[in-house]
Amino acid sequence: MTTQVKTTSSAVAKVNELGTARLVALAFAGAMLFTVGFANSATIHDAAHDTRHVQTFPCH
Amino acid sequence: MLYRIFATAFAAGIIAAALISVLQSFTTTPMILAAETFELPPLSEDEVDTAAEIQRSVFTFMANAVTTIAFALITVVGLTFGNAKPDRTKGLMVAAIGFAAFGLAPAMGMPPKLPGMPVGDFDLRQYWWISTALMTLVGLVCLFVQDKLSLKVLGAILLIAPHIWGAPMPDNMDSDVPATLAANFAANAIVMSAVLWTTLGATTPYFYEKFKPKEV
């Protein structure tokens, strides 16, 4: 009984952990793409200029 | 799990960034430089600044790396869904959806453009790009990754809608950049995107297995 409860709770913990990991990963991806592709700063624009053109991010 | 996802994305992203940065230096970068001569007065021989050229390559590699690691994170998250084993076949399937959503669909309305070419309103183009990429991503998942008919219909609508709405266009299509150069650039840029996603699709499953926690 105790073992079963433990297994279930560790399975639930694993699902929660995976869900959190997915969300964190997607949030990072979004922030990174926003910085390289969309941030309206002249410095970032100049540094990422060629990447923006090739990856079709709206440039200029 | 978090470590596994980020380590995988970092490794695969750096490989993809290195590959496309080298390819770009032979393909798209010379075209961007050529197009800039129509935008700015050309430099004379002794004005060519090697340090600035190196700095530009380094910045482009860094910007490429941030982009490819971000796309790799999305690919790895895709690998974690579903019952199928996260092998190379699954990786390439996820990458195909990523390429369609982030490469092909936005390029259909706003083809990759060289500096100096006419473009539509900046803010509107950003909104259109982001909505198109996200709608295509969700649309493809609805169409191909699940079996409910109603969601498949919704998926098809999501795929088509941004193109019916239409990308913001410039008022005037005239440009000093030669059309042949622009066409070459658009084709090469889309190939770069294909190389990027194929590399991510092929390498993320390898690193995902490699960074698997030992005790499980």
Distance from CA of A1 to the nearest CA of B (A): 22
Please give the backbone phi and psi of residue B120, each rounded to the nearest 5 degrees, phi first: -80, -170
Contact A56 B29 (CB under 8 A): no
Distance from CA of B210 to the nearest CA of A (A): 18
Higher pLDDT, A26 or B37: A26
Name the pLDDT band for B122 (thresholds 50, 70, 90): confident
Q: Residues B165-216: pLDDT tens digits?
A: 999 998 888 888 999 999 999 999 999 999 999 999 999 999 999 999 887 5
The average confidence (pLDDT) of chain A is 83
For residues B62 and A36, what is the distance between their CA atoms, to the nearest angstrom? 10
* pLDDT score for A41: 85
Q: Which residue has the tokens 């950049």?
A: B177
Nearest alpha-carbon partner for B88 in B197, B208, B8, B201: B201
- Searching chain B, which residue's CA lies closest to the CA of residue A30? B70
Contact A38 B24 (CB under 8 A): no
For residues B8 and B208, what is the distance between their CA atoms, to the nearest angstrom? 5
| Chain-centroid distance, C-alpha B208 | 21
Region of residue B121 (left: phi > 0; alpha: psi -120 to 50; beta: else): beta
Chain B 22-61, CB below 8 Å of chain A: which residues?
A: 24, 28-29, 32, 56, 59-60
* pLDDT score for B44: 65
Tell me how far CA of residue B137 lies from CA of A2, A55, B45, B141, B160, in angstroms. Answer: 43, 17, 47, 6, 12
How many Cβ atoms are within 10 Å of B60's Cβ, its own excluded? 26
Q: Which residue has the tokens 């996802």?
A: B5
Residues of A with Cβ-Cβ distance to B111 under 8 angstroms: 56
- Residue B118, CB-side half-sphere exposure with 13 Å CA sphere: 10
Residues of B with Cβ-Cβ distance to A48 under 8 angstroms: 59-60, 63, 66
Nearest alpha-carbon partner for B67 in A37, A27, A54: A37
pLDDT at residue A20 greater than cutoff 90: yes
Six-digit token string for B202 = 């092929």
How many Cβ atoms are within 10 Å of A2's Cβ, its own excluded? 6
Q: Does A39 touch chain B (CB under 8 A)?
A: no
Q: Are A59 and A52 in contact (CB under 8 A)?
A: yes
* Mean pLDDT value of segment A42-58: 88
Q: Residues B19-53: pLDDT tens digits?
A: 999 999 999 999 998 898 887 766 666 666 788 88
Name the pLDDT band for B71 (thresholds 50, 70, 90): very high
Angle at B171 between CA B168 and CA B177, to 5 degrees: 95
* pLDDT score for B205: 98
For residues A33 and B88, what is the distance between their CA atoms, to the nearest angstrom? 25
Which of A10-14, B75-79, B144-148, B164-168 has the weakest average pLDDT? A10-14
* pLDDT score for B102: 96
* pLDDT score for B46: 64
Interface probe with B: pick from A17, A51, A52, most Cβ of B within 10 Å: A51
For residues B203 and A7, what is the distance between their CA atoms, to the nearest angstrom? 33
Alpha-carbon Rg for chain B in angstroms: 20
Q: Are B212 and B86 in contact (CB under 8 A)?
A: no
Nearest to B77 among A22, A47, A52 (CB): A22
Q: Does A56 touch chain B (CB under 8 A)?
A: yes
Contact A51 B70 (CB under 8 A): no
Which of A26-30, A54-58, B107-111, B132-136 has the weakest average pLDDT? A54-58
pLDDT at residue B144 greater than cutoff 80: yes
Distance from CA of A18 to the nearest CA of B (A): 6
Residues of B with Cβ-Cβ distance to A53 under 8 angstroms: 28, 32, 112-115, 185, 189
Which of A47-56, B125-134, B203-212 has the weakest average pLDDT? A47-56
Q: Residues B81-113: pLDDT tens digits?
A: 988 999 999 999 999 999 999 999 999 999 999
For chain B, domain boundaries: 2-41+50-117+175-210
